[in-house]
Amino acid sequence: MTSPSSENFQQFVAVCRTQIDGREWMRQWPGSIDRNSVASVLRPLAMKYRAAAERLKDDEVIATIFTDEAFALLSELRNQYCFFVIVEIAARHIGDYSSKIGAEAVSEALKAEPNMPRRLS
């Protein structure tokens, strides 16, 4: 993964904002995290971060942006609205924007939003 610059970070936040805006109604909506849908949203950024990549499978997109542990934590959220709220906050915890979003950043984001709905059992 190339080091995402401040510009890349701003683009990442913009993608998250697009997914969040207008979806407040979804906050409590039952659901789950659709890995394929998340990968579809993040694919253009992942391809940019991996400059040599012409095509990325869903798992490669996810692995470009998140550690396995982080994605496992994020997968416990109720739906994609909740997912992108926490992802946007977690991205801000990285600091230099040069690494994947890890479990520690996700944990900090979850502490910042303690009432974020989780997946229904």
Beta bridge partners of 77: 118
Helices (H), the chain: 6-20, 35-49, 58-65, 68-74, 80-94, 103-112
Domain residue ranges in the chain? 6-112
Entry pTM:
0.87
- pLDDT tens string for the chain (121 positions)? 444 467 778 888 899 999 999 787 888 888 889 999 999 999 998 988 887 667 899 999 999 999 999 999 999 999 999 999 999 999 887 765 666 899 999 999 999 999 888 887 6
**Residues in CB range of 58: below 8 A, 6 or more apart:** 35, 36, 39, 40
Give the span between the Cα atoms of 65 and 43, in whole angstroms. 10
